[in-house]
């Protein structure tokens, strides 16, 4: 198993964060559906983004990868030669690629195999399957890492649970405008992560597709719409910036360039969370609602630990169906560093035990990334407040979202060595 020793005091320097993965996925898809050539600037070729690029190429898009931009021609997307040709779409471990492309691949009658790895197909897909049954779309598990789809998406009424993942809604929002008839998406229950829907609607609007949003309860979609090509720049990713913002709040000094203060990204909420923790002076527990921001919960938990204030991060059961059981992983790994965390079904309770004995933190400690990029990056920032060495396994899992994270960590004064034990 690949293990590295990581160590840092303060992180000091200047960074330009990677582009928003959420926005980039959407721009690639929308450009691939547009008749014409689009240029998308500020690119980071993470594993997830490569998966979406290759997926859209399988549906007929012509995509040229340059150093820091993409040229995307959607004129041939859904041409007959790209349909029913035994094509395979390999999503790797990208939930976005899988859930966005599932309905999109069936805009025209098609038979296509989806492949993945890791825990990808253990993440829920039932909201699609329930609707596919109504459309008489056939789906079958070939094995635990492959699903075969056969059929054609039809316009109509789609009901989607709002509390599993907003990605199902985004997949339909991209697909339904291309169908002949009008459609409606009805949201059952409470919609979580609505900011991701805002990002989708903003992207669709830029590319000339109009959706009526009735207070996130239902979405009205006119059929026979046409995507329009354009040139766009991808803004910085707040889910990655969150690691450095927390680092700054616990003693580091990092200048962060290129942030869009008017961003629609929900993970911008990390700024409010940090401020709320720092200002909290009541002699009672602070409750933070993590339902809208699952990706920043690990690094937010580190911030809460360092604060020494009693804090509970609630409504985060969805963390259990990420690349890892991210709720359990966060508690396990930060506990190994001597912090006081208690795992609950839907929350993490932090600094709640009066007689908690913190270990003296100067001995080497063995931590696991759980093959989860956000756990690995959280541990990197945690190393700035641990006196001893941290031995971390599978550190290269950060390639999923932030390929040069460790280079940035080194540039800020962090240290990484091979573990030879």
Number of domains in the chain: 2
d(CA 268, CA 273): 9
Pair 165, 38 in one domain: yes
pLDDT of residue 355: 81
pLDDT band at residue 362, thresholds of 50, 70 and 90?
A: low
Q: Which of 295, 340, 346, 393 is catalytic?
A: 295
Asked if pLDDT for residue 421 goes beyond 90, the answer is no
How far does CA 301 lie from the centroid of its chain?
Answer: 18
**In Å, how far are 142, 246, 311, 368 from 146, measured between CA atoms?**
5, 38, 41, 28
How many whole angstroms from its chain centre is CA 108? 28
Of 90-99, 148-157, 320-329, least confident by mean pLDDT is 320-329
Judge if 48 and 174 occupy the same domain. yes
Q: Would you give the end-to-end CA distance of the chain in angstroms?
A: 11
Residues 393 and 307 in one domain: yes
Nearest to 23, CA basis, from 8, 36, 1, 42: 42
Stretch (H or E) spanning 214: strand 211-214
pLDDT at 323 over 70: yes
Residues 360 and 246 in one domain: yes
Give SS3 for 121. helix
pLDDT at 158 over 80: yes
Average pLDDT, integer, range 356-362: 68
Tokens of 243: 């690691």
User: End of a domain among 174, 197, 232?
Assistant: 232
Residues 316 and 391 in one domain: yes
DSSP bridge pairs for 53: none
Task: Kindly write down the DSSP assignment for every residue of 264-328, as one continuous string.
Answer: --GGGHHHHHHHHHHH--SSSPEEEE-TT-GGGHHHHHHHHHHHTS-EEEES-GGGGGSSS-HHH
Phi/psi at 95 (5° precision): -65, -35
CA distances from 57 to 77, 401, 414 (A): 8, 20, 38
In the numeric block, which tokens belong to residue 361? 């933190």
For residue 185, what pLDDT is reported?
98
Based on the domain organization, do 303 and 356 belong to the same domain? yes
The enclosing domain of 37 has a CATH number of: 3.65.10.10
User: Domain limits at 126?
Assistant: 21-232
Residue 321 has pLDDT above 90, yes or no: no
Using an 8 Å Cβ cutoff, are 254 and 13 in contact? yes
What DSSP string describes 364-396? -EEE--TT-HHHHHHHHHHGGG-SS-EEEE-GG
The average pLDDT across 11-37 equals 97
d(CA 203, CA 23): 8
Query: Which positions ≥6 away from 76 have C-beta within 8 Å?
Result: 60, 61, 62, 82
Instruction: Check whether residue 193 and residue 244 sit in a common domain.
Output: no
- One-character DSSP codes across 158-202: EEEETTT-THHHHHHHHHGGGSSS-EEEEEESPPP-HHHHHHHHH
User: Which tokens hold the place of 96?
Assistant: 């976005």
Residue 192 pLDDT grade (very low, low, confident, very high; cuts 50, 70, 90): confident
Please give the helix or strand (H or E) that residue 421 lies within, else none. none
> Per-residue pLDDT averaged across 234-258, rounded?
97
The pair of three-digit structure tokens given for residue 61, joined into one six-digit string:
């898009």
Name the percent of the chain in helix, strand, coil, to the closest 5: 40, 25, 40
Percent of the chain with pLDDT over 90: 93
Q: Are residues 158 and 252 in the same domain?
A: no
pLDDT number for residue 360:
60
Is 295 one of the annotated active-site residues of the chain?
Answer: yes
40 with 164, same domain: the answer is yes
Check: CB of residue 271 under 8 Å from CB of residue 47: no
- Cα separation of 110 and 380, whole Å? 44
pLDDT of residue 1: 65
pLDDT tens track for 162-175: 989 999 999 999 99
Q: Which of 175, 203, 232 is the last residue of a domain?
A: 232
pLDDT, the chain, mean: 96
pLDDT in tens, 100-129: 999 999 999 999 999 999 989 999 999 999
Do 178 and 84 sit in the same domain of this protein? yes
Rounded to the nearest angstrom, the gap between the alpha carbon of residue 57 and the centroid of all alpha carbons in its chain is 22
pLDDT number for residue 361: 59
Percent of the chain's residues with pLDDT above 70 = 99
What is the phi-psi region of residue 60: left when phi exceeds 0, alpha when psi lies from -120 to 50, beta otherwise? left
248 and 213 part of one domain: no
Question: 188, 208, 232: which is the final residue of a domain?
Answer: 232
Q: CA 299, CA 381: separation in Å to the nearest integer?
A: 8
Picking from 202, 223, 222, the residue whose alpha carbon sits closest to that of residue 212 is 222
- For residue 363, pLDDT beyond 90: no
Do 201 and 224 fall into the same domain? yes
Task: Put the strands of the sheet holding 415-418 in their side by side order.
Answer: 365-367, 390-393, 3-7, 415-418
Measure the CA–CA gap between 266 and 197, rounded to whole angstroms: 10
Q: Please enumerate in sequence order all residues whose Cβ is within 8 A of that of 185, keeping only pairs 6 or more positions apart, or say none.
A: 158, 159, 160, 169, 172, 173, 176, 218, 219, 221
């Amino acid at each position: 198993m690949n293990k590295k020793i990581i160590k840092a005091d303060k992180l000091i320097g200047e960074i330009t964060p990677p582009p928003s993965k959420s926005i980039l996925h959407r721009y690639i898809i929308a450009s691939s559906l547009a008749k014409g050539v689009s240029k998308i600037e500020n690119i980071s070729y993470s594993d997830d983004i490569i998966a979406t690029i290759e997926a859209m190429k399988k549906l007929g898009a012509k995509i040229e990868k340059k150093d820091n931009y993409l040229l995307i021609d959607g004129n041939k997307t859904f041409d007959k030669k790209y349909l029913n040709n035994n094509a395979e779409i390999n999503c790797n471990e990208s939930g976005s690629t899988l859930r966005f492309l599932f309905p999109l691949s069936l805009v025209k009658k098609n038979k296509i195999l989806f492949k993945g790895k890791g825990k990808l197909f253990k993440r829920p897909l039932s909201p699609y399957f329930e609707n596919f049954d109504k459309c008489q779309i056939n789906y079958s598990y070939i094995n635990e890492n492959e699903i075969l789809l056969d059929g054609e998406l039809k316009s109509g009424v789609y009901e989607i649970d709002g509390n599993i993942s907003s990605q199902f809604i985004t997949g339909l929002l991209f697909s339904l405008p291309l169908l002949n008839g009008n459609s409606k998406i009805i949201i059952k229950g409470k919609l979580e992560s609505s900011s991701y829907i805002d990002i989708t609607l903003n992207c669709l609007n830029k590319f000339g597709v109009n959706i009526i949003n009735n207070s996130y309860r239902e979405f009205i979609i006119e059929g026979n719409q046409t995507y329009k090509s354009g040139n766009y720049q991808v803004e910085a990713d707040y889910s990655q910036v969150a690691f450095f913002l927390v680092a700054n709040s616990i003693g580091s000094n990092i200048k962060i360039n290129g942030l869009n203060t008017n961003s629609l990204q929900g993970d911008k909420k990390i700024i409010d969370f940090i401020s709320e923790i720092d200002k909290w002076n009541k002699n009672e527990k602070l409750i933070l609602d993590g339902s809208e921001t699952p990706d920043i919960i690990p690094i937010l938990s580190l911030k809460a630990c360092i604060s020494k204030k009693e804090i509970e991060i609630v409504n985060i059961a969805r963390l259990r169906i990420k690349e890892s059981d991210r709720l359990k992983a966060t508690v396990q790994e930060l506990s190994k560093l001597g912090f006081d965390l208690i795992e609950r079904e839907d929350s993490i309770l932090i600094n709640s035990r009066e007689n908690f004995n913190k270990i003296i933190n100067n001995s080497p400690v063995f931590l696991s990334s759980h093959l989860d990029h956000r756990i690995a990056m959280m541990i990197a920032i945690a190393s700035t407040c641990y006196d001893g060495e941290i031995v971390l396994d599978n550190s290269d899992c950060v390639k999923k979202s932030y390929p040069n994270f460790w280079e940035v960590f080194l540039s800020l004064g962090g240290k990484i060595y091979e573990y030879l034990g």
